[in-house]
Structure 1
Amino acid sequence: MPRIQLSSIYVDNQDKALAFYTDILGFEVKTHIPMGKFAWLTLVSPDDPQGPELVLEPAAHKAVQPFRRALYRDRIPVTSFAVDSVDAEYERLRELGVRFVQKPTTTGPVTVAVLDDTCGNLVQIASPAAPVEA
């Protein structure tokens, strides 16, 4: 059965993205191989270092920019990351200066919020919604 090994996110600047995704979001570098102007750069969750890798992919291909601009304009996240508590992570990230375009919102069984990764993307964080007390 297939399983997720790599998932790419296109970024305007790999160095800036590396700083944001590691220093702010808390991912760890798995692979960093310089390849001329760019690098093969993958990150993992510190909770699952052998798990799926996030590739910080250069947004250099001409087809990428129109697609990303349309998603950003329409406020569509390019990916979603699981967190234990959206409310707690929202507060932690806001204290670090992260700009959110959607505050924590509960929709059915999940709570989500959407942030700007400073590299041309919107990213969603999600956690199970708090149980409703009867």
Structure 2
Amino acid sequence: MRISLASIFVDDQNKAHKFYTDVLGFVTKMDIPMGGVKWLTVVSPEDPDGVQLVLEPNTNPAALAYQKAIFEQNIPATAFEVSDVHKEYERLTKLGVVFTKAPTEAGDVTLAVLDDTCGNLIQIYQMS
């Protein structure tokens, strides 16, 4: 058994797709129309056959409530590993990304938290 898909709820799939590809740098793996929504996944360009992140529409009231609650509690919806948090923080800040937490050391991890503009906080982290 292995993890091949992970989902994140988004308030707008097209906006999320643009942010996750144009800003964060992921690449589109699947973009399949399914009525008013899509089966939309992105992957790391460093691992194109790796785990896919599903940009899942938050149209279900339970999904929307969950997404809103964890955002309001400053809990990241997911986390992405980076090789250099400070460098990624600088790159993304120059692109206009809003961070709710600047790079912070926490034991063997340096982390930062950003707003994905689609209803989520995302943690980026670097292991020491």
Residue 34 (structure 1) shift: 0.5
The alpha-carbon deviation at position 128 of structure 1 amounts to 1.5
Query: 1:75, 1:31 → 2: CA distance?
Result: 30
Corresponding position of 2:2: 3
- Is residue 2:116 matched to residue 1:126? no
Residue identity matched to 1:64: A
Q: Deviation of residue 4 (structure 1)?
A: 1.1
Give the unaligned 5+ runs of structure 1.
130-134
1:67-108: CA deviation from partner (whole Å, max 9, x where unpaired): 111101110000000000110000000000000000000000
Indicate the residue corresponding to 1:99 in structure 2: 98
1:14 pairs with 2:13: yes
Query: Unpaired segments of 5 or more residues in structure 2?
Result: none
1:108: which partner in 2?
107
Distance 2:41 2:109 in 1: 28
Within 2, Cα distance between the matches of 1:67 and 1:100? 21
**Paired residue secondary structure (2:61):** coil
Number of residue equivalences: 128
After superposition, what is the alpha-carbon deviation per residue over 1:11-51, rounded to whole angstroms, capped at 9, x for unaligned?
Answer: 00000000000000000000110011000001110000000
Partner of 2:45: 46
Return the offset for 1:110. 0.4
Runs of 4+ in 1 over 3 A off after TM superposition: none
Question: Within 5 A, what are the aligned runs for 1:67-86?
Answer: 67-86=66-85
Bigger radius of gyration, 1 or 2?
A: 1
